[in-house]
Amino acid sequence: MADSLAGEELLTLDELTARVGMSVRNIRFYTTKGLVPPPLRRGRSGYYTADHVARLELVRELQEHGFTLSAIERYVGAIPADATPEDIALHRTMLAPWQADAPAELTRAELDRRTGRTLSDEDLATLAALGIAIRGKRGRYQVSMSQLPVGLGLIDLGFPTEAALAAADVYAAHGRQLAHELNELFRTMVWPVYREAGAAPEKIQEVVERLKPLSIASLVSAYESAMDETKRERIAERTRRVSGDDS
């Protein structure tokens, strides 16, 4: 049975493994790596708190997102030692996918069957650059089924793989900056309000989930407006050049 100390639930190692779905070996390994603090000692027994649970769940979330051990160590190392379980839950919430379209895991043969064609290496490179079919472990591909027809249509139209790769670099560079700024905004302006009000991690997670579709729609709207403005600027520039040539 779980014990308690000053109103805080304390878990035995067996209870912790059941709570977070990890083996004793893995928990001890992560402890030696400093990803979670050592257990609290009461006599000869060790106990674990909500902080241990939150940090182990974060480690598991990072693993599921494909982070290597060294990347996990850097990520967790940047979290203050005095961060509360609620603070750590915020990190987990922000890691959650922002699209409801969960990718399907397909082999190369299954992907060919789904597309009704034998995809060339260049086709696969284009789909990967577009973020539609990403090669993962054991030769399997993480495929966005909703976007796959779009990617195939671009391939049929002769969309250059080099352009897809260049576009991917643009998306990645600006995406990282955008993610950093939005995360800082949420961390400094939103999260403190809910934390001071004593909101549960579940509530802050619901807030983020409700914001996701709005944020995506806002990004699309901002992109469309910027593209329209760019086109107007280019038309105006061409008009000025033509006028200059005529004069």
| Fold type of domain 1-84 | Multidrug-efflux Transporter Regulator; Chain: A; Domain 2 (1.10.1660)
Alpha helix positions (H), 106-160: 108-115, 121-129, 148-156
Question: Is pLDDT of 102 > 70?
Answer: no
Q: Which residues contact 229 (CB under 8 A, 6 or more apart)?
A: none
Question: Is pLDDT of 198 > 50?
Answer: yes
Higher-pLDDT residue of 153 and 217 is 153
Question: What separation, in Å, do the N-terminal and C-terminal C-alpha atoms of the chain show?
Answer: 90
- The whole-number pLDDT of residue 70 equals 87
**Whole-number percent of the chain with pLDDT over 90:** 31
DSSP letters spanning 56-84: HHHHHHHHHTT--HHHHHHHHHTS-TT--
Identify the band that residue 1 occupies on the pLDDT scale cut at 50, 70 and 90: very low
The dihedral sign for the CA sequence 169, 226, 157, 119: positive
What is the average pLDDT score of the chain? 83
If DSSP codes are grouped into helix, strand and coil, which group holds residue 210?
helix
Question: Is pLDDT of 10 > 80?
Answer: yes
Residues pairing with 134 in the sheet: 142
**Whole-number percent of the chain with pLDDT over 70:** 91
Question: Is pLDDT of 26 > 90?
Answer: yes
Identify the band that residue 201 occupies on the pLDDT scale cut at 50, 70 and 90: low
- The whole-number pLDDT of residue 110 equals 93
Mean pLDDT, range 149-162, rounded to an integer: 92
Question: Which tokens in the block code for residue 112?
Answer: 């060919």
- The whole-number pLDDT of residue 154 equals 92
Residue pair 145/100 in contact by the 8 Å Cβ criterion:
no
- The whole-number pLDDT of residue 28 equals 93
Question: Which tokens in the block code for residue 156?
Answer: 């049929």
- The whole-number pLDDT of residue 31 equals 93
- The whole-number pLDDT of residue 221 equals 83
The dihedral sign for the CA sequence 220, 221, 222, 226: positive
Q: Which residues contact 88 (CB under 8 A, 6 or more apart)?
A: 51, 54, 55, 57, 58, 79
